[in-house]
Amino acid sequence: MKKTLPIILAALLALASCAPKTDRAVTEFAQLREHLAAAANVTATAAVTADYGERVFDFRIKYQGADGAGEITILAPESLLGITARVADNAGTLKFDGAALDTGSLGDGISPAGIIPRLLAEWRSGFPDSLSLVTTGGRAELVMRSALTADARQTTRFDLSSRLPVRTEITSAGRVILTVVFENVTLT
């Protein structure tokens, strides 16, 4: 056994030296996570499309907050313009001035009202299933795919130069149930 141990160690070292030194997507993702973790507050404006199967709702929202909770202001549709509410990553209902807008769950507790803080938590500490680098319209992007729940998966594209999200799609049962197109994101 003592004679075979040096041979096994030498073989393992030889194999390790043949492996690529770094995977650029993994390195970029690590830097993106550092960038997100350093931010105490996030402000984001986004267009959100929620597909409930029988009905589809389009919202435009502004989110301001930190770690799991914040404030959302509805910018569109016009009938809901200006409604502001506190949200958390598991919220399904916006409450305001004694009334409530039930945005409903799209399954597994995923709601358009609480999607931005939920995504922030996933980007900061979730476990990616895959990471890849792509070019879209001349822009270099990092694509992160991960499971949000047992049935729902998220795919987010981040701009590599700014390290900010561009677009997220959440799928469940083989169909896109939620799309978030980020218009403006600021980390402070």
Other residues' Cβ atoms within 10 Å of the Cβ of residue 136:
12
Beta strands of the chain (E only): which ranges? 42-51, 56-66, 69-76, 84-88, 93-96, 99-102, 130-136, 139-147, 152-159, 164-172, 175-187
Residue 1 lies in a domain: no
Residue 33 scores a pLDDT above 90: yes
**pLDDT grade, residue 19 (50/70/90)?**
very low
Other residues' Cβ atoms within 10 Å of the Cβ of residue 20:
6
Residue 101: give its domain's CATH number.
Answer: 2.50.20.10
Residue 3 lies in a domain: no
**pLDDT grade, residue 156 (50/70/90)?**
very high
pTM above 0.85, yes or no: no
Residue 18 lies in a domain: no
